[in-house]
Amino acid sequence: MKRLLIPLAAAGLSAAVLASPANAAPSWASEDLLTKPADAYGAAAFWLDSNGAALRKATQYNLDAKDVPKVVSSGSKGVPDGKPGMTGPTTTAKATTSKNVNLPKTIGKVFFLDKSGHYRWCSATSIQSRNRNLVATAGHCVFENGKDEVYRKWIFVPGYYQGKAPWGVYVGAYAFTAYDLDTYDDYDGDYAFVAVHNGFALTGSKEVVKSEFHAWAGDKWIKHEEIKKEEYDAGFEKYGPAGPYWSKDFDVTPEKVAHNYSGEKILTKVEVTESEYGKAPKDTASDVNGEQYEQAGPTPISQEEFKKLTAEKGDGKYLGKLTVTKDANGTETAWFETRFYVKQWVKAGKTVRYFRDHYFLGLAKDLGRLGDVVGGQGFAWNQPLGQQVTVFGYPSAPHPDGDRPYTGVTPKWCTGKTGTKSVQVNTFKVETHQVLKCSMTWGADGGPWLMKYNNSKRTGYVNGVTSVFADNDGNDRIDTISSAIFDGETADVYNKANFAETKKIVGPNGELLK
């Protein structure tokens, strides 16, 4: 990933856009996510395939390695580092009146694969920007451990509900955060602004002839229907080797047999996961199918191969085990893979299988820019503490005592005034956070803290995002959440993200754009 550290003067920003305070030292970090339409389409298709199965499989992200913290007064009043400022929201929602809190269309979930390949989510919101394409969330929901590389297959789904994307999927292109978070894991900068591509929705598929299939620039795939030899011969005779529906190279696969098969047979091996290998029986006299065959490794591999296989493991395409050794300073020095195999008998010959090919095109529809579809919340910085805020998020994790009042299926909210003093959070590198009494748990992290929330217009001003959850009275239940204080440095980061340009992913006919 390419990291850019750019002084404000080099960005060519107009003072009329956001007035950055003179005493702030503007610096930010930027990482590429999925800048190419083909990669963006692939990430969205990954999450939407099989009617959103991957979306439903995802679990809330939480920092399992850290204890549930407490918050303590830092003795600071959270003095702003410059003049206060605000940018106004935009909305596509009709004004309504309700005694309850009306949910804004802008909020939703971000989904990504973490470094272990787990499917994760956080909360987020669309935010106003020059190009109507920004998402605001917690920095640790974009950058691994709050720093270093960005997570894979990162998307935003506004209005997410039970595997559905009612207003489309928006794939992250560029991520912006505070330099100190990216470099030092400093949670005083635990926020991120992600520029996303145009949203799109998968609208189905259609079967076509081979010529149309090869001409299609979008998503496409081939399904193989197994047929009898007589059907294959008839089709091959009619169409020839270049026919539209018949594989030129038909599949040749050894036929599996039981270990006591009386004909000529060969003992082969089938790769499995380490867990499956450990459950398999060990050697017996009869060499039955499914017994342990071989553990190959650890075998030394390059760092590049290690990263490649790690990505494949996250996608379920690699079954082996990956390990790494480190020196006394924690620097990686060597990389290894181990593969596991069980026994399988096959016939001594090869069995020919015949297929009829079906060619399918994946169809998609461009939905436009995020802000044009769901609107965007305003943005505020250098505001005094003690503000009335409404906080939204998708909590899901249980409390420390095991009670789980939230499902993560629907968004929840808290309202109240933020702490009038900035606080420290032990076990995290935090010096100055704003706090709010709230019982939402992990999964709500990244959700917006909205000042001046207008319940009829469903808009407000993002003045924080949920960062840390705390049990402040020691009863093993989350009772406090905190956010970085949005100051002049936050405005600098937003300023940079505000100018990020993104793309359409699909054309008017559903074709994948370049």
Query: Measuring CA to CA, how many Å separate 63 from each of 152, 179, 432, 443, 496?
Result: 17, 21, 20, 11, 28
pLDDT at 1: 28
Q: What are phi and psi of 275, to 5 degrees?
A: -65, -45
What region, left, alpha or beta, does residue 220 occupy, with left being phi > 0 and alpha being psi -120 to 50 degrees? beta
Contact 468, 141 (CB under 8 A): no
Task: Reduce the DSSP state of residue 191 to 3 states and report it.
Answer: coil
Spatial separation of the C-alpha atoms in residues 356 and 447, rounded to whole Å: 50
Rounded to an integer, what distance in angstroms lies between the CA atom of residue 416 and that of residue 318? 48
Q: What share of the chain is helix, strand, coil (3-state, %, to 5)?
A: 20, 40, 45
pLDDT of the chain along its 514 residues, tens only? 222 322 223 333 333 334 444 444 446 678 889 999 888 988 888 888 877 888 888 999 875 435 677 777 766 556 667 788 888 888 765 544 445 678 899 999 999 998 888 899 999 999 999 999 999 999 999 988 655 588 999 999 999 887 788 999 999 999 998 877 766 677 888 999 999 999 988 888 888 887 788 877 767 788 888 888 788 778 767 766 555 566 645 455 678 888 888 888 888 888 999 999 999 988 766 788 989 988 888 888 888 889 889 988 888 889 999 999 888 888 888 889 999 999 998 888 766 777 888 888 888 899 999 999 999 999 999 999 899 999 999 999 999 888 999 999 889 999 999 987 767 777 778 888 899 999 999 999 999 999 999 999 999 999 999 999 988 888 889 999 999 999 999 999 999 999 999 999 988 887 778 7
What would the 3-class secondary structure string for 92-110 be?
CCCCCCCCCCCCCCCEEEE
Say what the pTM is: 0.71
The CA R_g of the chain, rounded to the nearest whole Å, is: 27
Neighbours of 306 (CB within 10 A): 19
Q: ω into residue 384 within 30 of 0, thus cis?
A: no
Strands, DSSP E only, in 260-331?
A: 265-272, 292-301, 321-326
pLDDT in tens, 205-260: 888 887 788 877 767 788 888 888 788 778 767 766 555 566 645 455 678 888 88
CB half-sphere exposure, 381, CA atoms < 13 A: 22
Hunting for tokens 């149309």 — which residue is that?
212
Could you tell me whether strands 134-137 and 119-127 are parallel, antiparallel, or unpaired per DSSP bridges? antiparallel
Query: In this structure, what DSSP letter does residue 77 have?
Result: -
Q: State residue 255's pLDDT score.
A: 80
Q: Is 464 exposed, middle or buried (0-12, 13-18, 19+ CB in 10 A)?
A: buried
What is the structure's pLDDT at 16?
A: 34
Contact between 114 and 144 (Cβ < 8 Å): yes
Sign of CA dihedral 65, 70, 74, 76: positive
Q: Identify the pLDDT of residue 191.
A: 94
The helix or strand, by DSSP H or E, that contains position 448, with its residue range, turns out to be: strand 448-454
CB neighbour list of residue 150: distance below 8 Å, 6 or more residues apart: 1, 31, 32, 33, 142, 143, 144, 175
Torsion of CA 317, 323, 324, 325, to 10 degrees: -170
Q: Phi/psi at 415 (nearest 5 deg)?
A: -135, 155
CA distance 499 to 502: 10
Torsion of CA 299, 302, 304, 310, to 10 degrees: 20
Largest CA distance in the chain: 86
